[in-house]
Structure 1
Amino acid sequence: MRTLTYAALLAVAMVPAAHAADGPGEYKPVTDERLANPEPENWLMTKGNYAGWSYTPLEQITTENVSKLRPVWSAATGKDKGHEAPAIVNGRYMYVATPENQVLAFDSKTGRTLWRYTREMPEGFGALHMTNRGVALWGDKVYVASIDCMLQALDAKTGELVWESEVCDWQTESAYITSAPLVVKGQVIVGPSGGEFGVRGFIKAFDAETGKELWTTYSVPGPGEPGHDTWPQDGKWKDAWKDGGGTMWMPGNYDVKNDVIYWGVGNGAPWPGDQRPGDNLYLTSVLSINPDDGKIAGHFQYHWNDSWDWAAMNAPSLVEFEKDGKKVSGLISAQRNGYLYWLDRAEDGEITFDHAVPYVHNNVFEKLDPKTGRPTYNEEAKVGTGKTATYCPSLWGGKDWFYQAYNPKTQMLYIPFNDNHCMTLTGLVQPIIPGQWSAGVDINKLDLKADKDFPYIGGVQAWNVNDRKEVWKETYAGSWNFGSILTTAGDLIFVGGTNDRMFRAYDAKSGDLLWEFPTPSGIISPPSSFEIDGKQYIAVVSGYGVDAQWIQGKMAKQAGWEESVPEGGSVWVFALPDEK
């Protein structure tokens, strides 16, 4: 295993400035066909493909040569706060979204800045998470959702604004957007955050050419809609559905063959479930949706009457796994509640439970129904109004928003996880006032607790999706893991996520650490991979902040860790040295 230092970095011959004259050339429009069958040399969407694998078929960089990986170019974003967007690549055009409504375009080969787009933040605006998780491509446009609830279409070559449409109203709804959009069949689909402010979750679809709104799908059904009877129908909580949460704040995945979208639904609002008695569909669920009209075709709810902020915002990865000796079309997802789920998906979008096992400690679920997957609860660990409860894992779960990865060669799922942490909360009734916290708990009393003498918290797990067993596990004694995973056909995984600022490569089959590189800040953005002129590159954006930084401060008091990690965004691109 080889660790590169900054001294080594300075010794590396970076791309000469003279090469900047070699421009990126024509822009190749992104079509439905290209999104359905993305070329290995590009990274056209946040998770690499519609199935949500975070996998690249490129295999030039392998377990045998990854130790030679070197930085090719780097560029500062000019922003601090948490950078959570991947580098999206279409040929020589790379796009990186940053906090504070900024999109940067680079020449992916040389690192030369092509353009910069910034939308001015409105006066008085505030949000719980000041970040952005990426752009989407279609045609000759780049699509980005600004944190102040607007969707913009930018010219891919110039960065000029083509159109913009309102997704939500941040002033009256307290909603805001951190999600990357998903483009399906010429429609740009995105949903806001804001469950902690009483936002009723939804996604909207817009025409990619004109910005015209096409349809809206709510995650909490209203009167007369299927599932509304799982919310209180009378009494003091009868209107709970109106502010029930379930925000859909991460991009979904898409089954191209059967024309079905899969989207994750967030936590309940307020957090104490006794303020909205019932199962509360479709909170903490995965929905299957018809992309033509937004109608819900099926669902699976991971846990009912959510009382822990265990949002299910990540859509499961679309995979085939073995069942009773046969290959079946399925969904697999490591959920925030600490359980790993195998689900069956039918052609019409119906979703049924198959199997689930805990991948971190959970003290809330006493058991799961083997046929339905419905959990039975330890009521002592369920937060209620005026009731204090301690539950594990904490609200950040076994895995927060960051992406798992699936490798079809190894048949393994790779999970960035956190264990050995719990939370103590007391529920209370809070009024819903636009722009004010109303999650039913005192935000200043979120009591995060690591287990006494914890051996580790963060790490990476590898699971065989067929025999449904853990294959290997890497753990971090002194850090949480807030990093998404990239896996490759070269039998590697790449991941950041730790407070030591390292970007690492592991053997995907064994878990052996093969290479690491220190970036100026911590990495909480997903890595990506692309190829130019027959050369494979690995890209990642460094820039710590948001929840990872907040937790770092908590751990400084509990375990003596450094109080904070340096902030400041920068893009890093790596490749193997040219053969001489």
Structure 2
Amino acid sequence: MKQPVDEDWPSYNGDYTGRRYSSLTQVTPENAHHLSPQWVFHSRNAGILQVTPVVVAGVMFVTGSNDAYALDATTGKTLWHHERPISQGLIDDASGHINRGVAVLGTRIYMETDNAHLLCLDARSGNLIWDVPYAFDNRNYGATSAPLVVKDKILVGTSGGDDGVRGFVAAFDAKTGREAWRFWTIPEPGQPGSETWPTTGKYKDSWKNGGATTWLPGTYDTELNLIYWPTSNPSPDFDGSVRLGDNLYTSSVLALDPDTGKLKWHFQFSPHDLNDYDATETPVLVDATYQGVPRKLLIQANRNGFIYILDRTTGKYLASKQFAQKQNWAKGIDANGRPIRTDLVPTAEGTRMCPSYGGGTNWYSPTYSETTHLFYFLALDDCSIFKVKTEDFEQGHEYYSTGASHPPNENAKKFLMAFDPFKDKFAWINPQAGGAHSSGGVMSTASGLVAFGDDAEEFEVVDGRTGHPLYHFNVGQTMHASPMSYAVNGRQYFAIAAGNDLFTFALP
């Protein structure tokens, strides 16, 4: 596995592993309390910032809605700004004009737009080189992710898993924008996995609107030459009667050959998902001795309330651990990694089920520290009332069939969790003070720090070994983004977006 990122943070997760682990050590548990804000960048774009900045050679690339910015990473000064109008007529997540960042290859940067176009820009000027639309035939498609560069290809996905689209991962030639391959995450009739969808009767075409979108970037093992791409929930979200079966490849992680798009293996976390427990949380790649055997591991804290450990060479299920304190949809996980469901399902009257519609965790990034050998993530402890009513799919409308609401007198709570995958236990758990509305993610450093956006509108740094708080700064806005770290001229910075602003921090 390659060395972790240091001065540069060249991709959404920092590197291909998804660990969000930086080798920078200037900021330590001993001096972190001296951190202070350095500069703030304000975006006037339509959507709140959910971007993780990318930094290469002292230049920071930030996206807001369909716009891209190049900033001086030491001062925040705008070097260039590429403008593109937001798209009209979008629905659901796409209508929020969310953009989580860029991918960089040489002197080009790549970004997705709210209506699922892939743009190639000149990294030196911001000028448009090419623009390729990549989602067709269903106006409910959108895109909210950052692309992923693998070799000479740019990999992208879509949003709309709650809106009746058919998900896919697509790869484009980095120079020309020509499509190289496309893997459809819902198999059509006759393909492997199609038997997990209705094949006869009124709903035999439900696969066409089956969800399994790919709205966060995957991770990549350079030695195995496999990408690991997580997929969203099936559609409609809460009505399983129109899509009887396991509904592959929804709520899964897919191991694909990045050269051809061929499926090597899959693992489905929540077969026949009825609660919007999509699996788009980052699949983190760790090389370690596990249960006495050297293994290439994949670790994911899943929205369904369980942490999973897989052998990423074969997809074999190795272990799981419940982290959701409120959990009533499953009695546990069997020896093959399949959940043992309770008899609770969404009903017309409404059924209280846990975790909530927001999941035990969600898209906000986890981290694995090579210093502490702990896996950190933010968890949401909450429940929802899930209701179901069969509805027909219609373009231009969401396709939840029907909805979820918050139970009265139910108190939601967030926690920062430090999980030891080798001892199968939590090293520590920190309750968060706030309204459980944040989507701030986590990162770690080689000096043993964990930095994150907490639930009280604060950028916070804690000791990764103990969870002891070391620094916090109130940004005055809810965070919906994950932090990163970089260095310029030997000085280490942290950066995180909150509301419409991007904040940076460093030692004096």
Please say if residues 422 and 450 of structure 1, whose CA atoms lie closer than 8 Å, have aligned partners that are also in contact: no
Q: Which residue of 2 aligns with 1:226?
A: 192
Distance in 2 separating the partners of 1:125 and 1:477: 35
Q: Which residue of 2 aligns with 1:509?
A: 465
Please say if residues 422 and 451 of structure 1, whose CA atoms lie closer than 8 Å, have aligned partners that are also in contact: no
Q: Which residue of 1 aligns with 2:74?
A: 109
Q: Which residue of 2 aligns with 1:356?
A: 320
Distance in 1 separating the partners of 2:3 and 2:131: 28
Distance in 2 separating the partners of 1:256 and 1:369: 31
Match for 1:523 among 475, 479, 482? 479
Deviation at 1:145, TM superposition (A): 0.2
Distance in 2 separating the partners of 1:358 and 1:450: 25
Please say if residues 245 and 268 of structure 1, whose CA atoms lie closer than 8 Å, have aligned partners that are also in contact: yes
Residue 441 of structure 1 pairs with residue 438 of structure 2 = no
Distance in 1 separating the partners of 2:413 and 2:88: 39
Distance in 1 separating the partners of 2:417 and 2:27: 22
Q: Which residue of 2 aligns with 1:185?
A: 151
Match for 1:374 among 334, 338, 348? 338
* CA displacement, residues 330-384 of structure 1 (integer Å, 9 cap, x when unaligned): 11110000001111122xxx201111111013101113212x01112112x2125
Q: Which residue of 2 aligns with 1:365?
A: 330
Q: Which residue of 2 aligns with 1:255?
A: 221
Distance in 2 separating the partners of 1:355 and 1:67: 37
Distance in 2 separating the partners of 1:435 and 1:208: 32
Q: Which residue of 2 aligns with 1:407?
A: 369
Q: Which residue of 2 aligns with 1:483?
A: 440
Deviation at 1:246, TM superposition (A): 0.7
Distance in 2 separating the partners of 1:502 and 1:302: 32
Distance in 2 separating the partners of 1:222 and 1:196: 19
Deviation at 1:327, TM superposition (A): 2.5
Deviation at 1:225, TM superposition (A): 1.2
Residue 87 of structure 1 pairs with residue 90 of structure 2 = no
Please say if residues 5 and 14 of structure 2, whose CA atoms lie closer than 8 Å, have aligned partners that are also in contact: no
Please say if residues 321 and 466 of structure 1, whose CA atoms lie closer than 8 Å, have aligned partners that are also in contact: no
Q: Residue type matched to 1:74 in 2? A: V
Q: Which stretch shifts more, 122-131 or 199-208?
A: 122-131
Deviation at 1:449, TM superposition (A): 2.7
Distance in 2 separating the partners of 1:313 and 1:333: 9
Match for 2:386 among 413, 425, 428? 425
Deviation at 1:152, TM superposition (A): 0.2
Structure 1 pair 365/321, CA: closer, same or farther in 2 (3 Å)? farther
Structure 1 pair 501/81, CA: closer, same or farther in 2 (3 Å)? farther
Structure 1 pair 264/490, CA: closer, same or farther in 2 (3 Å)? same
Residue 336 of structure 1 pairs with residue 303 of structure 2 = yes
For 2:406, what is the secondary structure of its paired residue? strand
Distance in 2 separating the partners of 1:513 and 1:408: 20
Match for 1:320 among 272, 276, 287? 287
Using the aligned pairs only, state the percent identity: 34
Structure 1 pair 392/218, CA: closer, same or farther in 2 (3 Å)? same
Residue 540 of structure 1 pairs with residue 504 of structure 2 = no
Structure 1 pair 502/450, CA: closer, same or farther in 2 (3 Å)? farther
* CA displacement, residues 488-536 of structure 1 (integer Å, 9 cap, x when unaligned): 11111111142x3211101100001111011142222111111111111
Residue 493 of structure 1 pairs with residue 450 of structure 2 = yes
Please say if residues 58 and 72 of structure 2, whose CA atoms lie closer than 8 Å, have aligned partners that are also in contact: yes
Q: Which stretch shifts more, 75-84 or 51-60?
A: 75-84
Match for 1:128 among 93, 98, 107? 93
Structure 1 pair 181/502, CA: closer, same or farther in 2 (3 Å)? same
Match for 2:253 among 286, 294, 302? 286
Q: Which residue of 2 aligns with 1:394?
A: 356
Please say if residues 4 and 23 of structure 2, whose CA atoms lie closer than 8 Å, have aligned partners that are also in contact: no
Deviation at 1:322, TM superposition (A): 3.6
Q: Residue type matched to 2:25 in 1? A: E
Larger Rg computed on CA atoms: 1
Instruction: Give the TM-score, by structure 1 length.
Output: 0.84
Please say if residues 51 and 255 of structure 1, whose CA atoms lie closer than 8 Å, have aligned partners that are also in contact: yes
Instruction: Give the TM-score, by structure 2 length.
Output: 0.96
Deviation at 1:133, TM superposition (A): 1.0
Structure 1 pair 161/127, CA: closer, same or farther in 2 (3 Å)? farther
Structure 1 pair 472/306, CA: closer, same or farther in 2 (3 Å)? same
Distance in 2 separating the partners of 1:377 and 1:39: 40
Distance in 2 separating the partners of 1:230 and 1:105: 46
Distance in 1 separating the partners of 2:203 and 2:195: 13
Structure 1 pair 97/521, CA: closer, same or farther in 2 (3 Å)? same
Q: Which residue of 1 aligns with 2:505?
A: 574
Distance in 2 separating the partners of 1:310 and 1:416: 16
Please say if residues 167 and 191 of structure 1, whose CA atoms lie closer than 8 Å, have aligned partners that are also in contact: no
Structure 1 pair 224/394, CA: closer, same or farther in 2 (3 Å)? same
Q: Residue type matched to 1:87 in 2? A: P
Structure 1 pair 295/450, CA: closer, same or farther in 2 (3 Å)? farther
**Structure 2 stretches lacking a partner, 5+ long:** none
Q: Residue type matched to 1:527 in 2? A: P
* Cα RMSD, aligned residues only: 1.7
Distance in 1 separating the partners of 2:5 and 2:318: 32
Q: Which residue of 2 aligns with 1:460?
A: 416
* CA displacement, residues 83-106 of structure 1 (integer Å, 9 cap, x when unaligned): 11111100121011112x111110
Q: Residue type matched to 1:369 in 2? A: D
* CA displacement, residues 160-198 of structure 1 (integer Å, 9 cap, x when unaligned): 0011101113x8331000011011011111111112220
Deviation at 1:236, TM superposition (A): 1.9
Residue 309 of structure 1 pairs with residue 276 of structure 2 = yes
Distance in 2 separating the partners of 1:37 and 1:322: 18
Q: Residue type matched to 2:453 in 1? A: G
For 1:157, what is the secondary structure of its paired residue? coil
Distance in 2 separating the partners of 1:387 and 1:330: 42
For 2:467, what is the secondary structure of its paired residue? coil
Distance in 1 separating the partners of 2:183 and 2:31: 48
Deviation at 1:223, TM superposition (A): 1.6
**Structure 1 stretches lacking a partner, 5+ long:** 1-34, 544-568
Distance in 1 separating the partners of 2:248 and 2:263: 12
Distance in 2 separating the partners of 1:382 and 1:496: 33
Deviation at 1:250, TM superposition (A): 0.7
Number of residue pairs the alignment of both structures matches: 503
Q: Which residue of 2 aligns with 1:43?
A: 9
Distance in 2 separating the partners of 1:92 and 1:487: 21
